[in-house]
Amino acid sequence: MYPNDAEDIKAHKWFRDVQWDRLHTMIPPFVPNIKSLDDTHYFDEEDPISDFSESTSAPPPTADEIAEALKPFPHEIQEIVRGYLEHPHDSLKLKKVEREIDTFVMCEEQKDYLKGFVKHYGRKEKKRPRDRLLRDKEIAPKVLELRKRGAFLGYTYRRYRPSREGIMGAGSSRQGTVAVAGENAKRAVWPRSRLSIH
């Protein structure tokens, strides 16, 4: 950034009525009424987006399987762990459950077993796309196809190939050398593909 490097933008006809020198003293047309630093009431409410993939959807465990897996534990612990299975979990909820299990009075091996049990048998929240267009089942395939087609539009890959005239001096047959103007000496030049930042 330099002192006057935005003058061409400020001079554009779109900003014709903007008084740049008085902008910092003017009252904006809309002043948000914020109650606290984390006040987000101006944003649309959305369901939380999980980081679990819906591709791993195993059949739910039967009551007998759960009872058999929790058999070695006291009745109170069994009830608490069954409660963990009632609600779907994402990674944050799973970590909270693991912290609660760490407070149980039992050996570390049993705690690890219960953590693995909840992770394996618990229902995972389905992941939904962050992009609203991709959430719509009708238009999502069309949007994806258009984005794939236009993803690299305007870009072409060209492998770096130095020209012989640019690298080699007149009459030279050695690759990787160039004649220095006004001197008889030649200095080695590395092709760009061999350069390394390490």
Q: pLDDT tens for residues 88-122?
A: 877 788 889 999 999 999 999 999 999 999 988 88
What phi and psi, each to the nearest 5 degrees, are found at residue 88? -60, 150
Q: What percent of the chain has pLDDT over 90?
A: 14
pLDDT band at 61 (very low <50, low <70, confident <90, very high): confident
- Residue range of the domain that includes 88: 63-121
Decide: 84 and 114 in contact? Cβ < 8 Å: no
Within a domain: residue 7?
Answer: no
Q: What is the DSSP letter of 130?
A: S
| Statement to judge: residues 117 and 77 lie in one domain | yes
pLDDT band at 160 (very low <50, low <70, confident <90, very high): low
Decide: 125 and 90 in contact? Cβ < 8 Å: yes
Decide: 192 and 160 in contact? Cβ < 8 Å: yes
| Statement to judge: residues 74 and 101 lie in one domain | yes
The mean per-residue pLDDT over the stretch 66-77 comes to 90
135/158: higher pLDDT: 135
Within a domain: residue 8?
Answer: no
The mean per-residue pLDDT over the stretch 111-135 comes to 83
Within a domain: residue 5?
Answer: no
What is the domain count for the chain?
3
Amino acid at 83: G
Task: Kindly state the tokens that stand for 145.
Answer: 């196809």
- Over 60: is that where the pLDDT of 42 sits? yes
What pLDDT does residue 77 have?
92
Within a domain: residue 145?
Answer: yes
What pLDDT does residue 101 have?
92
- Over 50: is that where the pLDDT of 53 sits? no
Within a domain: residue 2?
Answer: no
Within a domain: residue 101?
Answer: yes
Q: Rounded CA gap, 55 and 126, in Å?
A: 9
